Amino acid sequence: MDLAVSGGEVCALVGQNGLARLFDLGGAELRTFEAGVPLQCAAFGRRGDTLLLCGGAADPVALLFAVAEGQQVLSFRSHRGPVVAGELRIADRQHREFRLGVVSVVP
């Protein structure tokens, strides 16, 4: 289980059940993301509009979701070990920058 906080306004709780649950800091559940794999960690993008979900040893994958839409927008599946930490930067045509954690540990 892991907890990620975005800008002091919302937090995401992930677990081995493959779900990431987004809450406001008052405890109200805002959205559920279905990754379909056991999750090890989560991280919000700098602006809080993206959420990176990382699989553990059972399925080493990193999935990027758009928070407002609740839709998966990218998938990184070339890892040989659990995804635990790291950084990747991507800029789009509107010059929005995404900073994502993607590092796998090879046993």
Q: What is the pLDDT of residues 35-76, one digit of tens each?
A: 988 888 888 887 888 888 888 777 778 888 999 999 999 887
- Model pTM score: 0.73
Q: Which residue has the higher pLDDT, 83 or 50?
A: 50
Q: What is the pLDDT of residues 93-107, one digit of tens each?
A: 554 555 544 444 444
- Segments of 1-107 assigned E as strands: 2-6, 10-14, 19-24, 29-34, 39-44, 50-55, 62-66, 71-76, 88-91, 97-100
Closest CA to 69 of 51, 42, 95: 51
Surface-to-core class of residue 99, CB atoms within 10 Å of its CB (0-12 exposed, 13-18 middle, 19+ buried): middle
Distance of CA 39 to the CA centre of its chain: 9
Average pLDDT rounded to a whole number, residues 75-88 = 61
Q: Is 62 left (phi over 0), alpha (psi -120 to 50) or beta?
A: beta
Q: What is the pLDDT of residues 6-25, one digit of tens each?
A: 766 888 888 889 999 999 98
